[in-house]
């Protein structure tokens, strides 16, 4: 069964190229609600990629599974990665509206997404060429394990940025409620 190569890598490469010229246009202390919403979406979506990567990693410890099982799960992961990539594209497009901390989040998300996309593409290509070989050792296993690690780091990092934004907003609400002066 021949499988198509993902376009995720190309999408993310275009995103990275577009990052350099964009800069935050908000006043200090302001943040974009739309960027915060996109970050929250990326948090949920990246968690799903982490789940997919964990399942695939568990497959590398089960020698009785054939390449079809791997192909099915890696296809699901590819689709979930593409979903996150679309959200990251929207984040990058909204970069000029982002607060500095939001722009930092975008800057840190993109290279991790590219690494996940590259590893997934490499795993798909390996699987296409080596359907008769065991998938519990070698390069394939390395790609899958790397994705499990990086996707967990990405998901955790996005969650921390979302938490930061939520706590920052709560702090500002309390400051206004208590009628405290700004710094």
Which segment of 9-23, 52-66, 82-96 scores lowest on mean pLDDT? 9-23
Comparing 55 with 32, which gets the higher pLDDT? 55
Task: With a cut of 70, say whether residue 175 has pLDDT above it.
Answer: yes
Residue 121 CB coordination number (10 Å): 19
Residue 9 lies in a domain: no
Domain total in the chain: 1
Alpha carbon distance 103, 95 (integer Å)? 6
Residue 104 lies in a domain: yes
Alpha carbon distance 99, 105 (integer Å)? 10
Q: Could you list the residue range(s) of the whole structural domain that residue 71 is in?
A: 32-167
The pLDDT of residue 19: 45
The pLDDT of residue 136: 83
Which CATH number belongs to the domain containing residue 86 in this structure? 1.20.120.230
> What is the percent of the chain with per-residue pLDDT over 90, rounded to a whole number?
71
Residue 3 lies in a domain: no
- Compute CA distances 21 → 15, 91, 100, whole Å: 11, 14, 15
The pLDDT of residue 109: 98
Residue 39 lies in a domain: yes
What sign has the CA pseudo-torsion 67, 42, 157, 102? positive
Average pLDDT of the chain is 87
């Amino acid at each position: 069964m021949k499988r198509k190569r993902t376009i995720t890598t190309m999408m993310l490469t275009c995103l990275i190229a577009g990052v350099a010229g964009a800069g935050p246009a908000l006043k200090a202390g302001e943040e974009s609600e739309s960027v915060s919403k996109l970050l929250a979406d990326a948090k949920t979506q990246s968690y799903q990629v982490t789940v997919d990567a964990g399942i695939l990693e568990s497959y590398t410890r089960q020698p009785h599974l054939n390449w079809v099982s791997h192909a099915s799960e890696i296809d699901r992961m590819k689709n979930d990665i593409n979903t996150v990539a679309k959200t990251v594209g929207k984040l990058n497009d909204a970069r000029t509206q982002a607060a500095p901390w939001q722009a930092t989040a975008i800057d840190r998300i993109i290279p991790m997404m590219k690494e996940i996309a590259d590893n997934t593409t490499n795993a798909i290509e390996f699987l296409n060429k080596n359907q008769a070989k065991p998938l519990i050792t070698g390069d394939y296993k390395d790609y899958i394990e790397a994705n499990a690690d990086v996707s967990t780091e990405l998901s955790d990092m996005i969650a921390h940025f979302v938490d930061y934004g939520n706590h920052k907003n709560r702090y500002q609400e309390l400051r206004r409620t208590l009628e405290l002066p700004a710094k």
